[in-house]
Amino acid sequence: MLQLILSLIAISGIGALLALFLEIADSYIADYGESHILINNEKDLVVEGGSPLLSSLMENEIFIPSACGGKGTCSLCKLRVLAGGGPVLPTETPYLSKEELENDVRLSCQVKVRNDLKIEIPEELFKIKEFRVSIEKVIDLTDDIKSIQLKILTNEEGISFKPGQYVQLKVPKYEMTRESEYRAYSVASSSEASRDLELLITKVADGAVSTYVHDYMKEGEELTINGPYGEFYLQESDKDILLIATGSGLAPLLSILHQIEREKIGRKTTLFFGARTVKDLLYYDEVKDFETRLPDFTFMPTLSRPTEEDRWQGEKGRVTNLIEKYIPENAPLEVYICGSIVMVESCEDLLKKKGISEENIFYDKFE
Amino acid sequence: MADIDAGTLLFAAIFTNNILLTNFLGLCPFLSISREVRSSLGLGVAVVFVMTCTAVINYLVYYYVLVPLHLDHFRYIVFIIIIASFVQLVEISVERFFPALYFVLGIFLPLITVNCAILGASLFLIIREYTLIQSIAYGAGSGIGWMLAIIAVGSIREKLQKTARLPKGLEGPAITLFITGIMALAFMAFSGMIQIQ
Ligand SMILES: Cc1cc2nc3c(=O)[nH]c(=O)nc-3n(C[C@H](O)[C@H](O)[C@H](O)COP(=O)(O)OP(=O)(O)OC[C@H]3O[C@@H](n4cnc5c(N)ncnc54)[C@H](O)[C@@H]3O)c2cc1C
Ligand code: FES
């Protein structure tokens, strides 16, 4: 009996001692204290050390573009860290060019604030703001794409963005996640209605944010967005416009189509849209309707796997087939591509082979 | 007690009695992390460090706490929590003081908690009744031996990936087990050269 009690005490004692020891070590070693972040040599920010630079800035309402939620895979969060960033980490090197390395460019989601930092943030990023929004309406467009209509609650003027740009949608922690997560979604609605935004969101298997949006989000719920972000918008020129999208990649292009209509831009515009079956042709009628409203617009959907019932008479195959078939060599085009990485990259390769130069190809890769 | 000096024991633990190739301990991280030299080295270094330190700590706890209290039959559970706590401590320290190393080792460090070679080394030194000095030599030697083995296999696999066209079914763990088996055969030739118990 005594032995039993003794062993219980001893084993629990050892466990407790180790726990105590770790707890002390943790509070001493992992306590980074306060750090100063000097921004553009003027603004001094005091933050609690130990968190990634990206999230420390975000807590202070300075929003840096990021599509991956800080996982180090999108490389949008690049910033110049002039002092205090420590060595460049192996998680960053794949995304940094030699030139960027020489200029102290870092991925701000990977740099941890461990001591005082000196950083540089492009002026235009200070314009990015955070907004409370309410979910007004959720509509199923296809089996895996939903249209989400939001209303900005924070202010009357809403958000000012260029058609084609994206916002970050932040969803709360839920069953599948350990913390609140955010991802990039392009605005599909016209930039005129600046308080009422529409996003088109594809369900990604096991995706943190898209699953929340598809299976957990309710109408009436309040969330936050921040933005606008991105360089994907219509350039000023008189070249013909070619828009290419698959799936929810249609979103920014819809906003651009609204812009072309509103600003009465007379440039010849073509939209190649790829889907599997007729069921996957989201907003078919709406896009078709632009043909009557815009001065010079052609909508060319193509189906890769039309079914018997579809009775599809139009183009078949992928969007790349349309490029092969309809885009002549060295066409004087400006191309805007949006959708999955694979699609964007194969279109880009093909267009370059056709002699369209890199400066005239713009894209957003959704991943 | 084995009558063997620490230097010889260190050498024996690295080569003739390599814990991985003669005892087949620590195979699971060995199979999964040996895809390339870089990560093999990272994990190897972490194992050497943790194995050496936990050998010492476990030795002290065993002889100065468990044995006097007649609790030596609890050594498995005690050793395991000590190894786990130690790994945790190493992890937070490395993260704080060597951020670049942390990212190389990052995912491997927690894996070490369940590396059976580490528990194995601590148990062997009790069973074989090593002294403290011998224990340090054995812990370090076993760690280094494990590291050399994983680096060797890592470099072979890296080379294979670039040059060999393997049949589909042999890719990954299958070919690694073949390579390990052949290496273990070679190491069998050493067995018995040095008596370590
Ligand atoms: C500039 C920009 C604009 C974007 N606009 C839109 C938009 O308008 N509509 C929209 O639906 N999405 C858009 N995205 C993609 C979006 O930001 C998310 O990446 C996507 O919703 C997946 O997030 P998740 O949290 O659901 O999945 P995660 O939890 O991030 O990922 C889960 C798994 O799915 C994989 N994965 C991630 N994204 C994709 C993908 N797109 N397709 C296939 N697999 C993927 C990941 O590699 C991971 O293994 C945009 C991305 C960028 C960079
Ligand atoms: S936020 Fe995506 S790489 Fe940093």
pLDDT of B1 > 60? The answer is no
CB pairs under 8 A between A and B: 56
Contact assessment for residue A55 and residue A37, using Cβ atoms and an 8 Å cutoff: no
Among residues of chain B, what percentage have pLDDT more than 90? 44
Residue A308 lies in a domain: yes
Residue A337, strand partner residues: A244, A363
- Residue A235 pLDDT > 80, yes or no? yes
A171 shares a domain with A141: yes
Give me the pLDDT at residue A215, please: 95
A110: its two tokens = 């990977």
More confident residue, B39 or B177: B177
Q: For residue A23, is it within any domain?
A: no
Q: How far is the CA of A340 from the centre of ligand 1 (A)?
A: 9
Which structure tokens are listed for A42?
């003027």
Inter-chain touch A3–B103, beta carbons under 8 Å: no
Q: Which of A124, A159, A186 is the last residue of a domain?
A: A124
Q: Residues B105-161: pLDDT tens digits?
A: 666 778 788 888 999 999 999 999 999 999 999 999 999 999 999 999 999 999 988
Enumerate helices (H) and strands (E) in chain B, giving the number of each: 9, 0
**pLDDT mean over A192-197:** 88
Interchain proximity B78–A112, CB inside 8 Å: no
Domain limit, last residue, from A92, A109, A124: A124
Residue whose C-alpha is closest to residue B133's, from B193, B72, B59, B196:
B59
Residue B54 structure tokens: 């936990």
Taking CA A108 as the corner, what is the angle to CA A118 and CA B38, rounded to the nearest 5 degrees?
Answer: 115
Residues A265 and A282 in one domain: yes
Q: Is B64 on the interface with A (CB under 8 A)?
A: no
Encoded tokens for B164: 């060999």
Shared domain check, A327 and A219: no
> A10: pLDDT confidence band, cut at 50, 70 and 90?
confident
Please indicate whether, in this complex, the C-beta atoms of B65 and A14 are within 8 angstroms of each other.
yes
Evaluate whether ipTM surpasses 0.90: no
Average the pLDDT over A133-147 and give the result. 95
Q: Mark whether A244 and A348 lie in a shared domain.
A: yes
Integer angstrom CA distances of residue A65 from A54, A109, A182, A184, B151? 9, 10, 11, 9, 40
Q: Tell me which residue has tokens 């079956």.
A: A277
Q: Which of B58, B69, B82 to mutate to test the interface with A (most CBs of A within 10 A)?
A: B69
- Whether residues A207 and A314 share a domain: the answer is no
Residue B144, pLDDT score:
96
Q: pTM here?
A: 0.68
**Do A247 and A180 form a contact (C-beta atoms < 8 A)?**
no
Q: From A183, A283, A342, give the residue whose CB has the most ligand 1 atoms within 8 Å, as the site to mutate.
A: A183
Measuring CA to CA, how many Å separate A341 from each of A68, A95, A336, A357?
14, 16, 14, 19
Q: Please give the single-letter amino acid code of residue A308.
A: E
Between vectors from CA B173 to CA B170 and to CA B179, what angle results, nearest 5°? Answer: 80
Closest CA to A182 of A199, A195, A194, A159: A199
Mean pLDDT value across residues A211-231:
93
Are A185 and A264 members of one domain? no
Tell me, yes or no, whether A169 and A220 share the same domain.
yes
Q: Does B85 touch chain A (CB under 8 A)?
A: yes
- CB-based contacts of B75: which residues, under 8 Å, 6+ apart? B58, B62, B66, B123, B126
How many domains is chain A partitioned into structurally?
3
For residues A294 and A329, membership in a common domain is answered with yes
Looking at all shown ligands, the one closest to residue A213's CA atom is: 1
**Out of A29, A89, A112, closest to residue B93 by CB:** A29
pLDDT value of position B2: 63
Mean pLDDT of A191-198: 89
pLDDT at B192 over 80: no
Query: Which residues lie closer than 8 Å to B158 by C-beta, 6 or more apart?
Result: B35, B36, B37
| CATH number of the structural domain spanning residue A172 | 2.40.30.10
Q: Are residues A251 and A350 in the same domain?
A: yes
A173 vs B125: CA distance, rounded Å: 47
| Per-residue confidence (pLDDT) for residue B105, from 0 to 100 | 66
Q: B167 vs B164, B171, B174, CA distance in Å? A: 10, 7, 11
- The helix (H) or strand (E) run that includes residue A254 is helix A250-262
Q: What value, to the nearest 5°, has the Cα angle with vertex B160 and ends B157 and B163?
A: 155
Q: Dihedral sign, CA of A200, A204, A206, A209? A: negative
Query: What's the whole-number average pLDDT of chain A?
Result: 92
Give residue A212's domain range: 128-229
Least Cα separation, residue B89 to chain A (angstroms): 7
Q: Which of these, A81, A114, A107, lies nearest to B96 by C-alpha position? A: A114
Question: Domain ends where: A199, A229, A259?
Answer: A229
Supply the mean pLDDT for chain B.
87
CATH number of the domain at A337, please.
3.40.50.80
pLDDT value at residue B32? 80
Query: Quick one: pLDDT band at residue A363, thresholds 50, 70, 90?
Result: very high
| Contact between A82 and A57 (Cβ < 8 Å) | no
Read off the pLDDT band of A2 (50, 70, 90): confident
Are A300 and A287 within 8 A, CB to CB? no
Give per-residue pLDDT as tens, A79-95: 999 988 888 887 888 99
Q: What is the rounded average pLDDT of the residues A123-142? A: 92
| A38 & A110 share domain | yes
Inter-chain residue contact B69 with A7, CB threshold 8 Å: yes
Residue type, A164: G
Identify whether A228 is preceded by a cis peptide bond (ω within 30 of 0): yes
Say how far apart CA A165 and CA A188 lie, in whole Å. Answer: 9
Q: What is the CA radius of gyration of chain A?
A: 25
Task: State whether B61 and A14 contact (CB < 8 Å).
Answer: yes
Average pLDDT for A26-50: 87
What is residue B63's predicted lDDT score, i.e. its pLDDT? 94
> Cα separations (Å) of A229 from A66, A108, A262?
9, 16, 22
